[in-house]
Amino acid sequence: MLAPNDLLELTCGAPGHGGFVIARHEGRAVFVRGALPGETVRARVTEVKKSYARAGTVEVLEASPHRVAEACAAAAAGAGCCDLTFTTPAYQRELKADVLHDLLARFGGFDPGAFEPTVEPLSGAPVTGWRHRARLVADGAGALGQHAFRSAAVVAAPCVQLPAALTDLAGAVRAEPGTEVALVLDDAGAAHAAVPARRGRPAKALSGDGLAEYRVGTRSWKVPVGGFWQAHRDAATRYAALVGGYAGQYGGGAGHAWDLYGGAGVLAGALVDEGMTVDVVETSGGAIAAGKQTLAQEPVVFHRGDVASRLKGLRAPSTVVLDPPRTGAGAAVMTAITASAPRAIVHVGCDPAAFARDLGAACENGYRVAELSAYDAFPGTHHLEAFAVLVPGHEDRRGR
């Protein structure tokens, strides 16, 4: 009977969602971390369930031609930060596209022939040092590091995602063991470290003034160091341009828009630039405060609360933009959005499985996918950012 710590020799198949490839052992699926499709590896079992097991590669017996030397010291030491830095950036994007294609079929119900997605580079920036905000945790000696994969243990080794300024800051800061510390290299070039606010406890600045400055186009935002912003330094600017372009093309330009899960209003600003008025719905009071400060003189109204409960009473939209958390919007929210009958829905998804489910729900309610694109906003990891434009129509692209 299969048990944790067993060593298996496995031939690896297709990539799965989560930074692993899928092998089989005695009829059971084994999700293998640290391997590539086509490789034969020796892997140690880390978890056993009824229908699947998890394992980590300990030796590569037959290597893929796409394998390269591990680029991330933290990942090499067992951290859960980078799970694809042992292959080329181009092949990373191929793997992500394969996963997105699979999930659109399995979770969205789309016919496999409906889409042939590709994952494009987010920008021309290097694929290392791209992360300008991160959360680390202090180990037993107070040094900052990353959690080991699926573990509370801390690996205090440098991650290739961080620019030199944040790597240096992480090495200089000390905190009580177990404390989470947010690091930011903002768009003014200032490096910050802070313990984020938690359950009534105020934030504590460890380096810098506790407020990070971010810039998108002609606008700038001041956001608490522990507050949300896109991780990739080029992401907010690129997403704003994409969403604004899609809204202008498919939403008809001037009109009214909803910006759901809208954060500090970066995408709302892009909609204003297309001539729209905007209702933003967001749960974070800190994000709303930052957004109100930046967009005070613009036709944007912020509403604090859960999206599912705040849509009633809002002015009918011509365009809806949503950028939900990794759990997705869900069927109920997608039904409420489609019931408002916008000319265009622009969905921004950071989890491809949830993204696929949301698109499928919209298509069940009389919309079709007019545009689909995806970007490598998290190089070195299995994560991606996907965009879809949905418009009214009953074209059957789902193979049902």
Taking a C-beta distance cutoff of 8 angstroms, is the pair 82, 74 a contact? yes
**What does the alpha-carbon distance between residue 284 and residue 303 come to, in Å, rounded to a whole number?**
10
Taking a C-beta distance cutoff of 8 angstroms, is the pair 246, 316 a contact? no
**What does the alpha-carbon distance between residue 176 and residue 103 come to, in Å, rounded to a whole number?**
41
- Measured in degrees and rounded to the nearest 5, phi and psi for residue 261 equal 55, 45
> According to the annotation, is 261 in a ligand binding site?
yes
Please name which of 280, 285, 283, 261 lies closest in space to residue 269, comparing C-alpha atoms: 280
Active site residue 350: yes
Q: Which of 12, 82, 350, 363 is catalytic?
A: 350
Q: Where are the alpha helices (DSSP H) in the chain?
A: 73-76, 89-106, 164-172, 235-250, 266-273, 285-294, 307-310, 331-339, 352-364
> According to the annotation, is 209 in a ligand binding site?
no
Please name which of 384, 369, 375 lies closest in space to residue 124, comparing C-alpha atoms: 375
Q: Which residues of 350-389 are buried (b: 16+ CB within 10 A; e: fewer)?
A: bbbbbbbbbbbbbbeeebbbbbbebbbbbbbbbbbbbbbb
Binding residues, by number, are 230, 261, 282, 323
Binding residues for S-adenosyl-L-methionine, by number, are 230, 261, 282, 323
Residues annotated as catalytic (active site), given as ranges: 350
